[in-house]
Structure formats: structure tokens, C-alpha cells
Structure 1
Amino acid sequence: MSAIYPNPISQLTCVACLFICLVASCQHQPPYRHTGDPIRGVNLVAPPRKPADTTLQALKALGGTWVAVVPYGFCRKDDPHFFWSGNRPPGERRGGQWWGETPEGVAETVQMARAQGLKVMLKPHVWMMGGSHLDLAFDKEADWQTFEADYRGYVLGHARLADSLKIDLFCITTELDKFALARPDFWKQLIIDVRKIYKGKLTYAANWDRYDKLPFWSQLDYIGVDAYFPLSDDKTPSVKAMVRGWKKPIAELATLSTTYQKPILFTEFGYRACDRTAEKPWESETDCQPNMEAQANAYTALYEAVGPQPWFAGGFVWKWFMLERHGPRERDMYSPQGKPAGKVLQRTWSK
């Protein structure tokens, strides 16, 4: 019998037709509509020492309903080892980690939140010394495997903690998008393994400029975005100007939500009380000329533009201090505490 070879042109035509059908199917999906209560949350700064048990009363009075507890782990640029409270460098004393980042501190912070009727997201985060966690990558396979073994222990350890504390939402990690794109199989399997341990809802905090490229949204309950979108380069941008600036991000977020039929959660959003706060909202180390009006306008514009979107599940402000005195560092300008931006949140959250 003579061999029958498939026609390559016909094969290509079939593949093209399949692709067109898939695209058409996505286009005909209805927009996703989130039906739950909006999350009105803040990212807590893990304190170095235990705060007063009443520390979160001010957030509750503002109308907040959630907190994100953020226990950091640490690495050094180009070093394939990762350290956290359960995996310390040789010779480091146990006291090296801040109270709020230890399992004991996390558990007590959760208790403080629940005493105020607040729900909790646990949100592990990487601090890279000598570089940015956004660019975490390795050239050698052996280094990747070393880091993945450590990082897997970090994430699964916090998944166990989240399950034992009955945490409401677990964010598996924050802004390791380059890592996720380079090693998708690791992340897909990690999510499967987290699901075996933790029975609650899952998300991942993706950076604003890469969230649409990540390969695992279908495995999660929320599409998590750290929403530092550039909106305006004005010194004191008006609400109207920033609402216009939101148009393109809103259209792109809506498309992704429709494609996956999932709500979008702003795992972080925030603006410094500085000139040009909406030009590069992610920058925390640049010079800051104080500008309370710019920050308040940015919060107002976000809730005016994004708040009514059917896919919007709410979000977590960056950031909120649990201690009354937290020092004069420039990055503290993100906090809305005691500023006009806090009044904006109170008006919005009390509706």
C-alpha cells in the first residue's frame, strides 16, 4: 500500500480556521460581571514589633473591609538562594525578620483584623537586595532549580499557614512576572500543589505592564493586577485628566476579564502625595515634592473610572502602617493615612 502524506497547505488552513474560531468564540463571550461585595482593602506594612491590638480600628472607621498581610522573603541579585522566616541564611539570628513577617506575627495580625470584622488576604512578597524582583532571572538551569526549590518551600509554607488560619484569599506571590513567563510549567504545577493544601480563593499579583501575558489565569479565582498604570504627566493632574488616562487600561482589562470570565482584583494600587504622582506611580525612590491634592485626585479618578466597571472586584491600597510612628521615609508618601486621600477613601467606601 502506498503511503498517504497529508497536504501541508490543508493542515495550515485547518489550523488557521481553528484559530479564527477560538478568537470568534472569545469575542462572543459576554462581559464578566462580578457579583460579590467590592473589596475595600489595604496592604499592611509588616511592623518590626507588635502594635496595639486596636491598631486597625482606624481602617474600619474609614470603611475598609479587608487587609493584605505581606510577609516578605529575601534574595540577592544573581544569587539562586531564597530566604524567609522558615529558611534563614546560616548564622542569622531568628530576630532578623520583622515581627509582622514571622508566622507568629502573621497569625496575630490576622487575629487583630478579625477582631475588627476585616477579611484577610495573605500576600507573600520578594525583596531583592541589589536589584529588582521584577527582573528576577537566571542564566543557568541549575540556578533556576535551586531558586525554585527554595521558592516552592516559601509559597507552600505560606499556603499551609493560610489554610491553618482560614485566610479568606491567598495571593501566591507578587510581581515575579519575568520568572513566571520564563518558567510557566513551574508555576502551573505550583498552583496545583497550593490547591492541595489551601482550600480558599487564589490570585497572583501581576505587574501592570505584564499582567496580560501570564499563562495561568485560568487556574486562579481572580486576575490580580498591581495597577500602577501611567495616567498623566501633569504636576497636579485633574480628576478629569486621569479619568481619560484610564480609558486604555480599562479596555484592556475588560478584554482579559471577558476572555477568562474572571473578576479583576487590584492587588495593589496607590499614589504618592507628590507632584506628578500619576506619571509613574510605581516609582518610590524618586524625589518627591509634596502634593496632597495630586494624590487625592488620583484616588478620586480611580474610583470614578474603574469603580463602576462590571469586572472590578475592588482592591488593596498601597500602603497602610500599623504603627503610629513610622518615620519620614519618602516611600511613606504612598500612605493615605491622615491625608486628603484618606478622606476620598472614606467617602467612596462608605457609599
Structure 2
Amino acid sequence: MHILKFLFLWLILSFQSCAPQIQKINGVSFVASREAIDENHVKPVVHLNANYAAVMPFGFIRNLEHPEIVFNTERQWFGETKVGAKQYIETLRKKKIKIMLKPQIWVWRGEFTGLIKMNAEADWQLLENSYSKFILDFASFAQEMKVDIFCIGTELENFIDHRPEYWNELINEIRKVYKGKLTYAANWNEFSRTPFWSKLDYLGIDAYFPVSESKTPTVEECLNSWKNYKQIISEIIQKYDSTVLFTEYGYRSVDYSGKEPWKSDRNMDQVNLEAQTNTTKALFETFWGENWFAGGFVWKWHHNHERAGGKNNTRFTPQNKPAEAVIRTQYSLRE
């Protein structure tokens, strides 16, 4: 009898050890540029050990109270249009990079999209009609291209807070058009009240959580700061029986990079490569080993790798900085 129990246990363990391991979504946010890309632009993505890229066409709004989204025009950069997105997707796929299509809105002068808010019911309806046209057009395109994930919006908290019924119906309409996985990119301080997670496949977060007040954050300091946020995230996950995807994550190579990680102010000009490296390491250590964590897309990755980033650069990209090696190592692992 003991021998039979041993054999049974051995068979279970053998089966588990032979079962294929699910790799994380190890992604890059592939920046739309003025020009088409080719194989040489994709090789650095492959060298990073990335298996996903977020392709990001854009629509534009004149100001935070303006209800009309303009998109897919000749005045836009190539990569911001549907034609450009198609060329990017096809080129990335030749190197077996999977795709999240993530159409985004840009408000003139770079104002925060989460503050988009109409002042009259008629304008809300105009915005809803305009956004539906924008996102359903790209949902049809996502189905045509058979992309793996479609992101239905990015950091639109006021729009969602004031018009939740619209968003529930919009998701129903998107499901009629697109048959793949859906997510929404909620801002770090928005995701806990986003009302429609049960209707999506991934709970998406743009993970710019403040994790340090220090000029040069240590890994340990950031790990301690993550504990609270991780608990909140895990509670939301349990509530919706979902999986978390960091639709964006990353830090600038600048002093105080963990204090307000969402900031892109140009007057933050003190290069600090160690700050970017340590904050990135802590994020990986906190999340990448969790089975409820699907992975994420580093913000951001430029097509012209040889000229991007560098050791004198204070921006978000990890390219040609020590943080790139940290990401490469993490992305090489299978969970």
C-alpha cells in the first residue's frame, strides 16, 4: 500500500515537472515614430528577451473639455496611424514578438488624460460617440491583425468615474468586434475603483506607484514600500478573480526617481542611473514571481536603439543604461 502511494505521488510530481511553464508577458512599450521600422529596429527588442510589444497608435484632443478625438490623419507620425501600426505589427511578428494594441489619446500640450471631463451632457455624448468611433475602429483593426491583447483605454479616470454605464456598454460592443484578450490601462491611483474589471481578461495598471522619497532609492527601501501596494493589488485580484498586467511600468534615470515616477518634467535633469536600476530591480522582485501577475510593458522603448537613452539621459527609456541589463536578465527567466 505504501509503495502504491509512493508511485502515485511520484507520478503527480513527474507530471508537474514536465508540464510546460507559462512565461510572463515580458513587454516593451514600442514608441510610435515618424518612420517605418525594419528588422534592425526589432533586433534590440529580441536581444532584450522581450516576447511582447505594445504598439500605440494615437488620437488627439484639443483640450480637456473638448469632446472630439481626431485620429488616423495624414498630419500624424507614421507610427501613430493605422497604416503605421500595421507595419510595426507585421515587422515585430517576423521576430515572433506578440502584440498588445494600445490606442491612446494625447491632449494638446501633454495635459493628463485622466482630467478629461465635459461640462455639459451634450458634450459628454459627443465625447462618447467620438471615443466609440476611435476605439471600435481600432478594435476591428486588432481583430483583423489578430493581436494577442487589446487595451480599451489608458488613464481615463474622470471619463470612467462620470460615465460608467457608457464603459460597460462599450466593452460589450468591443467584444462583438474583437475576440482576443482585453485590458484597460488604469493609472496607479485609479485601478482600485475601476468598475468594470470583471468584464476584462487582465486587470491593467500603469504602475507608477511612489516607492521612495530618497534621492537614490535603495532596493530594500523600495521593497518595503511595495508591500502595502502589493496587498491592495492582491485584494482587488481576489475580488475579481483576475490577473494583473502592468500595462506600463518604469522609472526615469534621474534623482528621486521613485518619489513621483509618473513625472516627465524636463527640469528634472540630474542623471541618476542607480536610482533607475534599483527601483526596477525592486519592482521585478516584488511581482514577477507571483502566479497572479501576468507581466508588464516597460515604458518606453524607441525604435532607433543605437541613439536612444544612454548614460547621460534622464528620461524613462532603459536603453543603453544599466537598467537595460536588469530587464534583459529578468526577461530571460521562465517562471
TM-score using structure 1 length: 0.85
User: Deviation string for 1:128-147 (max 9, x for gaps)?
Assistant: 11432110101100011111
User: Deviation string for 1:264-295 (max 9, x for gaps)?
Assistant: 00000010000110000000014220011110
Partner secondary structure for residue 55 of structure 1: helix
Q: Within 5 Å, which residues of 2 pair with 1:1-351? A: 36-77=22-63, 78-85=65-72, 94=74, 96-130=75-109, 131-285=111-265, 286-324=267-305, 325=307, 333-351=315-333
Cα drift, residue 326 of structure 1: 5.6
User: Deviation string for 1:295-323 (max 9, x for gaps)?
Assistant: 01111111111222231110000000012
Cα drift, residue 112 of structure 1: 1.2
Unaligned runs of 5+ in 1: 1-34, 89-93
CA distance in 2, matches of 1:187, 1:153: 13
Partner secondary structure for residue 53 of structure 2: strand
CA distance in 2, matches of 1:124, 1:102: 10
CA distance in 1, matches of 2:44, 2:29: 14
For the aligned residues, what is the CA RMSD?
A: 1.6
User: Deviation string for 1:86-136 (max 9, x for gaps)?
Assistant: xx5xxxxx2x11100111111110111111111000001110114321101
CA distance in 2, matches of 1:331, 1:256: 36
CA distance in 2, matches of 1:331, 1:290: 7
2:254·2:314 contact (CA, 8 Å) conserved in 1?
Answer: no
Letter in 2 for 1:206: A
Partner secondary structure for residue 50 of structure 1: coil
2:188·2:206 contact (CA, 8 Å) conserved in 1?
Answer: yes
Partner secondary structure for residue 45 of structure 2: helix
1:271·1:277 contact (CA, 8 Å) conserved in 2?
Answer: yes
Letter in 2 for 1:304: E
Which residue does the alignment assign to 1:7? none
2:309·2:318 contact (CA, 8 Å) conserved in 1?
Answer: no
1:47·1:323 contact (CA, 8 Å) conserved in 2?
Answer: no
Residues paired across the two proteins, number: 308
CA distance in 2, matches of 1:248, 1:100: 38
Partner secondary structure for residue 118 of structure 2: coil
Unaligned runs of 5+ in 2: 1-20
Cα drift, residue 202 of structure 1: 0.3
Cα drift, residue 332 of structure 1: 6.6
1:54·1:112 contact (CA, 8 Å) conserved in 2?
Answer: no
User: Deviation string for 1:194-230 (max 9, x for gaps)?
Assistant: 0000000000000000101011001000000000000
CA distance in 2, matches of 1:73, 1:166: 21
Letter in 1 for 2:291: P
CA distance in 2, matches of 1:46, 1:251: 35
Identity %: 40
In the superposition, relative to structure 1, how do residues 332 and 100 fare at CA in structure 2: closer, same or farther (>3 Å)?
farther
TM-score using structure 2 length: 0.89
